[in-house]
Amino acid sequence: MTMTLVEKILAAHSKNETVHPDEIIDVGIDVRVARDFGGANVVKNIRDHGLQIENPEKTLFTFDCNPTGSDQKYAVNQHICRLFARENGIKIFDIDAGIGTHILIDKGYVYPGATAVSTDSHANILGAVGAFGQGMGDMDIAASWHNGRIWFKVPPSVRIQLNGEFPENITSKDIILNLLKIFGANSLLGYSVELYGDSVDKMSLDARITVSSMATEMGAIIILFPPSKEIIEFCSRNSKNKFTPVFADNDASYEKKFDLDVTKFLPVISRPGEPHDTVDAASVEGQKIDSAFIGSCTNGRMEDMQKAAEILKDRKVAPGVILKIVPATDEIWKNCLMDGLIDIFKKAGALVSNAGCAGCAAGQVGQNGPEEVTISTGNRNFPGKQGKGSVYLASPAVVAASAVAGYITTPDKIPAKPSVFSQPSKSVSNNYKKDRHKDKKAKPDYIEGIIWLIKKDNIDTDMIFHNRYLAITDMKEMGQYTFDNLKGYEQFSKKARSGDIVVTGKNFGSGSSRQQAVDCFISLGIQGILAESFGAIYERNAINAALPIISCKSLDELDLHDGDNIKIHLRTGIVTNSRNNKTTSAVPFSDVQYEIWQNGSLFG
């Protein structure tokens, strides 16, 4: 049986000679990582369940979300992880190291054909070197630390052929934003994507990292690059293990294939709110900005720093505009120093911070305030993700040019004199409510309850449970913050009743790997979530926490109204609307999901 790239990697790490899409297998994990975000909860799971570490040499902490130590709760969590690491002989890449996924590549922990899991939802960045990386929640990571393995459903594969040569003005960020423009946030939901083409083969490691890092924003499990000669040589020099590169079989079967003409790709920018809301750069040219950010796991590599320096050399950031630059790793930071790039950045008026995730992680440089307009090289611009303002996504070249101009522009249109302006901001208040945690109930093979009909697609984890509450580890406290960043549903936690069921659209739970976005519903006593589709990491987190989530693409057949009572049979997938007796078929629970549901959690 022939196999795709992801199938060959997963098969090689399982007990099966071959695997096929939707098959659930146990996968051996070569490296298992927890960050300062999520790390304390991993430790809590390990301790609460009396688990041991299967192989400390394959187990790591990476502190990249808040390396500045500017948040007390992060500092507490980091120290919890440090103490646990000392007790168990686990290596820490501490606050001076940089972004964990980049470290895994640069330090040789991953290599073509390897497997890795992390509490980072962008662990699929490892597809840049032809490795399988996956972001997972706290339970999954704790289980992988204990077992060295974790269950996984083999994803279907998509092959995208990029034909032609990229235009000279197209950067790696433009490539992935063009792909987002074509495929959106959920048309490739749950797929493993493989990229091919002569222009793909020529892409550098830095460029591949940029593209792979935004697989999450496309809804894909991973974007895999077949390793080129240069990638294989790089990994061979740095790898701690000997390896044989893995490639898809020539006659492998793909569920979908696409041929794209890259000569038609344009410089594009994502408008605030959704990474896939991409438009030609020319259509937003002239938009005033308050701030600019260059960095993140998507664009914090050396090539990104060099492009920014090329534009900023002998120029100044526009008055009233703040430019923040954060290299991805400490090694890149030092190279910037040695090559004179830091000097260029500082003379231009930029703030240069120590290596880390920065803007899209709460607590480090890059966050913006209410009504602040930012242009960023980050991977996400969901409301609230990089702050309370508006965030445009673009390449390092466009961000640097815009910082100099004072408004969004491209490198070829930087004005002789910058735009000058100031932007006021407003205060923001948060609403809180008392804890509504309910005791667990007996579990039949169905759930039944009143529905909240939320007709929205792509509800991400920041809308469900905002990152400003990520330091909370007590589930009893989580329910009060549910949906308080989802427009129109800010009062959900006050109005929801124990036993209610949430019914919604496509790609529910996209975005971050945070377990709290599941646990907040459990805290409120919500019985389950019925949606057209779910984000891959969210689906795992909910299954592992025994929160019933049910996928159903034919919700319209139920003629649902807000407040209807529905009954969902978990083993058959039959959904019935009690008001009109209309039924439809959803995806029934797998044996794994049903077992976890009956046991009460992944840990029973």
CATH number for the domain formed by residue range(s) 268-413: 3.30.499.10
CATH superfamily for domain 446-599: Aconitase, domain 4 (3.20.19.10)
Pairing verdict, β 31-35 and 59-62: parallel
Instruction: Classify domain 5-264 by CATH architecture.
Output: 2-Layer Sandwich (3.30)
Q: Which residues pair with 194 in a beta bridge?
A: 159, 224
Look at residue 428 in the predicted model and tell me its pLDDT.
Answer: 46
Same fold yes or no, 5-264 and 446-599: no
Give CA–CA dist 572/30, Å, rounded. 36
Give the ranges where 249-329 is alpha helix by DSSP (H).
302-312
Residue 399 three-state SS: helix
Give CA–CA dist 38/58, Å, rounded. 18
Look at residue 330 in the predicted model and tell me its pLDDT.
Answer: 96
Look at residue 383 in the predicted model and tell me its pLDDT.
Answer: 80
Q: What does pLDDT average to in each consecutive run of 10 residues of the chain (604 residues)?
A: 96 96 97 92 95 97 82 84 96 94 97 96 96 96 97 97 95 96 94 97 97 94 97 94 94 97 95 92 94 94 97 96 96 97 97 86 72 92 82 96 96 91 51 43 86 96 90 91 95 96 97 94 97 96 96 95 96 96 96 94 90
Q: Specify the length of the chain in residues.
A: 604
Pairing verdict, β 574-577 and 582-585: antiparallel
Look at residue 363 in the predicted model and tell me its pLDDT.
Answer: 52
Q: Kindly list the domain boundaries of the chain, sorted by start residue.
A: 5-264, 268-413, 446-599
Is 521 exposed, middle or buried, given 0-12, 13-18 or 19+ CB atoms closer than 10 A? buried
**pTM score:** 0.84
Look at residue 422 in the predicted model and tell me its pLDDT.
Answer: 52
Alpha carbons within 13 angstroms on the beta-carbon side of residue 214 total: 33
DSSP secondary structure string, 51-104? ---S-GGGEEEE--S-TT---HHHHHHHHHHHHHHHHHT-EEE-TTTB-HHHHH
Give CA–CA dist 122/299, Å, rounded. 13
Q: How far is residue 235 from each of residues 62, 99, 104, 242, 244, measured CA to CA in Å?
A: 20, 18, 11, 10, 11
Look at residue 65 in the predicted model and tell me its pLDDT.
Answer: 85
